[in-house]
Chain A
Amino acid sequence: MSVDATPDRAVRPTGTEEVQVELRAKANEIKARYPVGRERSALLPMLHLVQSADGYVSPEGIAFCAAELGLTKAEVGAVATFYTMYKRRPVGEYLVSVCTNTMCGVLGGQKAYEVLSEYLGVGHDQTTPDGQITLEHAECLAACDYAPVLTVNYEFYDQVDSGQALELVKQLQNGERPQPTRGARLCSFKEISLQLAGFHADKDPGIADGPAGEPTLAGNRLAERTGVSVPNFDPNTPIPPVAPKATTPPPAAPKPAVDRKPAGDTPAGANDPREGDKK
């Protein structure tokens, strides 16, 4: 059974002026990451942004993106429905994604998915009645050497069998936030959506940290143990000269300091010739 945490007629946060002011400021920051005139590139991060307010891509969220980028709601909706991570119904506090692709599936992921589905009483892309947990089976999560894996709000829990998966979900239900295997800390679905829009604070200790697991280091450990290294590496090996082609300009001369901006502020290329919009 699927339950919408938000009644249909309620005004979603993105529909309120107060939230919109905050979102608009962030939307401007997102747009500034792309070349002038190419702001449509901001659409994907902006859809993550509206999910951070509403917990899914709501009609208000689509209207917000459309207004910010000068697109129609249909154009935004066409993009939002293409991508798996944009959710059409409110997601619970925790999105539990179990990899059931071939490798994880045969190593225990399929069993884990079934156990969780039965325990929670929900199927794929459905949320528990209390609005806490949304379950989904995921396609390959690019962690086959850690199989079977699952993620909670996209944080990895590696080598998790069905028993451990069940224990993990029970901890979530008890209000605990178990430590993800690769570091960082578990947060809510809305909070991770904000991070996916590109907003996380470096000062938040450990958010980008976390050690590598043994499978990642397996080859290195073996090389270290056996003293293997690659011979004859000389970092001062000269780069052979090539006669520049007649048509090739020399390396760019330093740009005038007048258009210097703080590093990382906006994209370069204010001096780049721009072409008309593509479509």
Chain B
Amino acid sequence: MTEELLTPVLTKRWLSPDAWKLSTYERLDGYTALRKAFAAHPDELIALIKESGLRGRGGAGFPTGLKWGFIPQGDGRPHYLVVNADEGEPGTCKDLPYMMADPHGLIEGIVIAAYAIRANHAFIYVRGEAVHAYRRLQSAVREAYARGYLGRNILGSGFDCELTVHAGAGAYICGEETALLESLEGYRGQPRLKPPFPATHGLYEAPTVVNNVETLASVPYIVLGGADWWKSMGTEKSPGPKIYSISGHVKNPGQYECPLGITLRQLLELSGGVRDGHQLKFWTPGGSSTPYFTAEHLDVPLDFEGAAAAGSMLGTTAVMVFDETICIVGATLRFIEFYAHESCGKCTPCREGNYWMVQVLRRLENGEGTEEDLATLLDICDNIFGRSFCALGDGATSSVVSSIKYFRDEYIAHVREGRCPLGNVPVHATAGAH
């Protein structure tokens, strides 16, 4: 039975009425992990998270315990914990439902992580457009302060932790950790050159851990259940459960928490399969920044290693499913319009490259392109990839390169037929928009 592949851990409280309220959270064992954590030495918590193999859920998959361990201790400087809740990668929609359903789970993870890295002030940087999640977090933070889970001398531990919820203002780039820090400091959200890394020069140039929402939400469960239990799910190098967000042409789109390493074939079984009368054409394993997969990748294990070995990336496990009615050129163009709009403009290859890819893709979609345009696109991608401060430009090349790799014939058909072979009429909502 495919259903047995479900591992409701982080999502298990979501069905409870008023799941987001402190009274519900406490009734369902909320904040017991925090009490347990306070009985341990911070170094023991860092070691526990290392041992669990937890890897960052924001897309890069960096080992969380290792990141915490990079914070210099005994340095006499303030340390900060910053939560990246700036969810906005096309396809990605896991952190907002998590924060809506279980904000106290995030707060508990934050306090434990802050205690482990010896940070006395944490920040949640929430995407501005997510105002409902922002309100809910603020209410939860107020509740947590009132009950002594935040503030001075939390639960009599002697540990202090202030938590500030901060709303962004509409910029995808602020999901990049150093751009996020710039933005949180009140500047334009443009990435910093690394090194130095946030672990030594982060927020206010102080040692800082930046973690994704789902990463920190995992922490209380590891503290309670232990590293071995956590590793009983997932694969050897990518352990644990993960929230897979399935969208698009499936019967039951939504959030499915499964062990890392599940396949699209299994996810399709869980979500009812591709809509009736249609076939899978292409899909992303982890958002618009991850190279497309096709029907030949139905059995690729969706963990960090499996997705990479098959030529893509796990990303944020944002599984976007497109059927045969979708034009590959139009879909890719729309993604590149997004990157052109969201490029912060700091690095020339990303700023100019995405602008020009939009122009080339538009004429291809309109049936006015040439076969040489494909070489031009790949050449532009070569000049973007690896040549900018951050990964936004790298991510932009994913859909272009993989679409040409798997669907070159469809591009060529646009050129030869002088129109979309699927009969799609091009539209450009972004004309004139910046």
B120 within 8 Å of A by Cβ?
yes
B387 within 8 Å of A by Cβ?
no
Q: B97–A216 contact, CB under 8 A?
A: yes
Residue B151 contacts which of A247, A251, A263, A273 (CB distance < 8 angstroms)? A263
B70 within 8 Å of A by Cβ?
no
B294 within 8 Å of A by Cβ?
no
Contact with A along B5-38 (1 / 0, CB 8 A): 0111101101100111000000001001100110
Q: B429–A110 contact, CB under 8 A?
A: yes
B186 within 8 Å of A by Cβ?
yes
Q: A106–B167 contact, CB under 8 A?
A: no
Closest to B140 in A: A208
The residues in A between 227 and 278 inclusive whose CB is less than 8 angstroms from any CB of B are 228-230, 232-235, 237-242, 244-245, 247-255, 260-261, 263-264, 266-269, 272-273, 275, 278
Taking CB atoms, residues of chain B closer than 8 Å to A97 are: 129
Q: B74–A248 contact, CB under 8 A?
A: yes
Residue A216 contacts which of B76, B233, B254 (CB distance < 8 angstroms)? B254
Shortest Cβ gap from A179 to chain B (Å): 13
Q: B318–A144 contact, CB under 8 A?
A: yes
Name, among B76, B101, B169, B225, the residue most crowded by chain A CB atoms within 10 Å (CB to CB).
B169
A102 within 8 Å of B by Cβ?
yes
B205 within 8 Å of A by Cβ?
yes
Q: B48–A240 contact, CB under 8 A?
A: yes
The residues in A between 192 and 248 inclusive whose CB is less than 8 angstroms from any CB of B are 192, 195-198, 200, 202, 207-210, 212, 214-226, 228-230, 232-235, 237-242, 244-245, 247-248
A127 within 8 Å of B by Cβ?
no
Shortest Cβ gap from A116 to chain B (Å): 11
Question: In the bound complex, what is the Cα–Cα distance between A233 and B97 (angstroms)?
Answer: 24
Q: B320–A233 contact, CB under 8 A?
A: no
Question: In the bound complex, what is the Cα–Cα distance between A241 and B36 (angstroms)?
Answer: 13
Interchain Cβ contacts within 8 Å, total number: 366
**Contacts A182-B100, A182-B132; A242 near B248 (Cβ below 8 A):** no
Taking CB atoms, residues of chain A closer than 8 Å to B247 are: 103, 144-145, 147
B293 within 8 Å of A by Cβ?
no
Shortest Cβ gap from A181 to chain B (Å): 10
Shortest Cβ gap from B228 to chain A (Å): 8
Question: In the bound complex, what is the Cα–Cα distance between A232 and B125 (angstroms)?
Answer: 35
Taking CB atoms, residues of chain A closer than 8 Å to B148 are: 263
Q: B43–A235 contact, CB under 8 A?
A: no
Residue B29 contacts which of A38, A215, A235, A252 (CB distance < 8 angstroms)? A235
Q: B150–A233 contact, CB under 8 A?
A: no
Taking CB atoms, residues of chain B closer than 8 Å to A44 are: 166-169, 183, 186
B359 within 8 Å of A by Cβ?
no
Shortest Cβ gap from B224 to chain A (Å): 4
Q: A103–B224 contact, CB under 8 A?
A: no
A137 within 8 Å of B by Cβ?
yes
Shortest Cβ gap from B384 to chain A (Å): 19
A176 within 8 Å of B by Cβ?
no
B271 within 8 Å of A by Cβ?
yes
Question: In the bound complex, what is the Cα–Cα distance between A239 and B170 (angstroms)?
Answer: 41
Taking CB atoms, residues of chain B closer than 8 Å to A146 are: 93, 253
Shortest Cβ gap from A225 to chain B (Å): 8
Q: B255–A216 contact, CB under 8 A?
A: yes
A13 within 8 Å of B by Cβ?
no
Residue A222 contacts which of B166, B270, B433 (CB distance < 8 angstroms)? B270
B326 within 8 Å of A by Cβ?
yes
A184 within 8 Å of B by Cβ?
yes
Q: B32–A212 contact, CB under 8 A?
A: no
Residue A228 contacts which of B6, B29, B223 (CB distance < 8 angstroms)? B6
Q: A226–B3 contact, CB under 8 A?
A: yes
Q: A272–B78 contact, CB under 8 A?
A: yes
Q: B429–A145 contact, CB under 8 A?
A: no
Taking CB atoms, residues of chain A closer than 8 Å to B1 are: 226
A48 within 8 Å of B by Cβ?
yes
Name, among B33, B97, B130, B271, the residue most crowded by chain A CB atoms within 10 Å (CB to CB).
B97
The residues in B between 136 and 183 inclusive whose CB is less than 8 angstroms from any CB of A are 136, 138-139, 141-142, 145-146, 148, 150-153, 157-162, 164-172, 183
Q: B8–A214 contact, CB under 8 A?
A: no
Residue B138 contacts which of A83, A102, A198, A260 (CB distance < 8 angstroms)? A198
Q: B169–A86 contact, CB under 8 A?
A: yes
Question: In the bound complex, what is the Cα–Cα distance between A182 and B146 (angstroms)?
Answer: 26
B363 within 8 Å of A by Cβ?
no
Residue B15 contacts which of A35, A145, A220 (CB distance < 8 angstroms)? A220
A151 within 8 Å of B by Cβ?
yes
A41 within 8 Å of B by Cβ?
yes
Contact with B along A162-182 (1 / 0, CB 8 A): 000000000000000000101
A138 within 8 Å of B by Cβ?
yes
Closest to B427 in A: A110
**Contacts A41-B184, A219-B256; A144 near B171 (Cβ below 8 A):** no
Q: A196–B270 contact, CB under 8 A?
A: no
Q: A268–B224 contact, CB under 8 A?
A: no
Q: A237–B338 contact, CB under 8 A?
A: no
**Contacts A222-B3, A252-B160, A264-B150; A212 near B186 (Cβ below 8 A):** no
Q: B47–A240 contact, CB under 8 A?
A: yes
Q: B164–A267 contact, CB under 8 A?
A: yes
Question: In the bound complex, what is the Cα–Cα distance between A228 and B241 (angstroms)?
Answer: 14
Shortest Cβ gap from A192 to chain B (Å): 6
Q: B36–A239 contact, CB under 8 A?
A: yes
Residue B153 contacts which of A142, A241, A248, A254 (CB distance < 8 angstroms)? A254
- Contacts A83-B169, A251-B115 aside, 6 further interface pairs with beta carbons under 8 A come to A35-B204, A138-B129, A216-B14, A232-B229, A239-B37, A272-B78
13 pairs, A vs B, C-beta closer than 8 Å: A79-B188, A82-B171, A86-B170, A143-B93, A145-B245, A147-B253, A195-B134, A222-B6, A228-B4, A228-B8, A237-B229, A263-B150, A268-B152
